[in-house]
Structure 1
Amino acid sequence: MKKIGLFYGSDTGTTEYVTELLLKKIKKKAHVTTYEIGEVGLLEFDDFDFLILGLSTWFDGDLQSDWEGFHDTFRRINFSGKKVAIYGVGDQIGYGEFFVDGIGILGRIVVENGGKIIGAWPTKGYDFESSVAEYLPGWFMGLAIDEDNQGEMTEPRISEWVKQIMEEFSPTNKKVAIF
C-alpha cells in the first residue's frame, strides 16, 4: 500500500472540505497522513515519496495564508525522487485572471527542487482568463476546483483525479510526470 503525505491549508473551510472528499476516496487505496501546512516544518516532507498538496488562491494570485507563511521554508525542500500531485480551490468567475494560481506557484517550486509533478488536469469545462497553473495550453498542473461556481462538479472531478493520481503514483509508471 502506498504511503502518501497530504499537506493542505484552508482559511474559510472550502479547501478543508475538498480535502475531506479527497481523503474519503484515497484512503480506500492507500495510507495517507494528513497535515495542515501551518503546523509543519521541513522534516515532515522527508517521510514521503508521494505527496499531495492542497491550497486555495486568494485575491490577485496570492497563496492561502498558511502556505504564504510557509513559502520560504517550502522553497528549501528537496523534492528529488518525489512525485507530487497538487489540487487547488479558486473562483474562475470572480478571480478569473488568477484562477488556481497557487497550483502553479507550488508546482514550479517542486520542479525547480527536483520533484516530478503528476495529476495534470484539463482546462476544458472551466471559464477563466488566465492561470499560472496552466503549464501547457489546455492543461493545469493539478486538479482545479471551483466550489463557488461549479460545486456540482467537485465530487466527480475528485473521483476521476484520485483514480488518475493513484495510477501515476505507481513506482512502475514512468511516463506520467508532466515535468
Structure 2
Amino acid sequence: MKKTVVVFGSSTGMCEAVAQTIGEKLGAEVINVSDLDEAKVQEAENLILGTSTWGAGEMQDDWYDGVKVLKSAGLAGKTVALFGVGDSESYSDTFCGGLKELYDACVEAGAKVLEGVDASTYTYDDSEAVVDGKFLGLALDETNEEDKTPERIDAWVAQITPSL
C-alpha cells in the first residue's frame, strides 16, 4: 500500500478512537488535524480523513483550519477516503453532515475521493452526506449504534484497500 495517513478532527474522542482503529487496520500513521501541515499532505499519497459532526451538520471545528491546509497543499493526484461520526437519533436530520463539507473541500482541492457506503442500512431522517443512496464515506454512530461499528469499519476498509 502507498503512503497513507489517517487524519481526524475530534472534540469528544469518539472520532479519534475510530481513526486509531482504522489506522491500525491499514497500518497507517494517525494524526490530529490540528497537527496537519502541507508537508504531511504532500508526503502522503492517500489520505483517510475523519470528522465528527456538530451543530446543523458542520465539520468538527479544527477541520476549518485543516481544510485550508488541504487546499493550499493541493490534493491533485491523491486518493482520499472519508469517515464521519454522528448521532443518528438526536441529530437524525443532519446525521454525519460534516462529511459533505469535507468532501466538497477535497474535491475542490483536486482529490480523487473514494465511494462511500450504502446508506440504506442506517436509521436517520436526512443527511447532506448522502448522494445517490450512499454516504460520501463511512458513517458511524458511536452514540446509538456502537455495536455496528467494528463490522462497518471492517467492511469499509475491505472496500477501500484495493484503491489505496
The two structures have a TM-score, normalised by structure 1, of 0.85
Deviation at 1:17, TM superposition (A): 1.2
Deviation at 1:164, TM superposition (A): 0.8
Q: Which residue pairs with 2:144 in the alignment? A: 149
Distance in 2 between residues matched to 1:105 and 1:92, nearest whole Å: 18
Distance in 2 between residues matched to 1:119 and 1:23, nearest whole Å: 19
Give the paired residue count.
164
Q: Which residue pairs with 2:162 in the alignment? A: 167
Deviation at 1:134, TM superposition (A): 1.0
Two-structure CA RMSD over aligned residues (Å): 1.5
Distance in 2 between residues matched to 1:113 and 1:160, nearest whole Å: 27
| Residue 72 (1) aligns with residue 57 (2) | no
Gaps of 5+ in 2: none
Deviation at 1:67, TM superposition (A): 1.1
Deviation at 1:26, TM superposition (A): 1.4
SS at 2:72 equivalent: coil
SS at 1:86 equivalent: strand
| Residue 46 (1) aligns with residue 27 (2) | no
- Residues 27-176 of structure 1: pairs in structure 2 closer than 5 A: 27=27, 32-136=28-132, 138-169=133-164
SS at 2:47 equivalent: strand
SS at 1:92 equivalent: coil
Q: Which region of structure 1 is more displaced relative to structure 2, 40-49 or 51-60?
A: 40-49
Distance 1:11 1:51, change over 3 A: same
SS at 1:8 equivalent: strand
Distance in 2 between residues matched to 1:25 and 1:39, nearest whole Å: 22
Identity rate, percent: 34
Q: Which residue pairs with 1:19 in the alignment? A: 19
Distance in 2 between residues matched to 1:86 and 1:112, nearest whole Å: 15
Q: Which region of structure 1 is more displaced relative to structure 2, 71-80 or 61-70?
A: 71-80
Is the Cα contact below 8 Å between 1:5 and 1:51 reproduced in 2?
yes
Deviation at 1:58, TM superposition (A): 0.8
Distance in 2 between residues matched to 1:64 and 1:75, nearest whole Å: 17
SS at 2:158 equivalent: helix
Deviation at 1:53, TM superposition (A): 0.3
**Runs of 4+ with deviation above 4 angstroms:** none
Gaps of 5+ in 1: 170-179
The two structures have a TM-score, normalised by structure 2, of 0.92
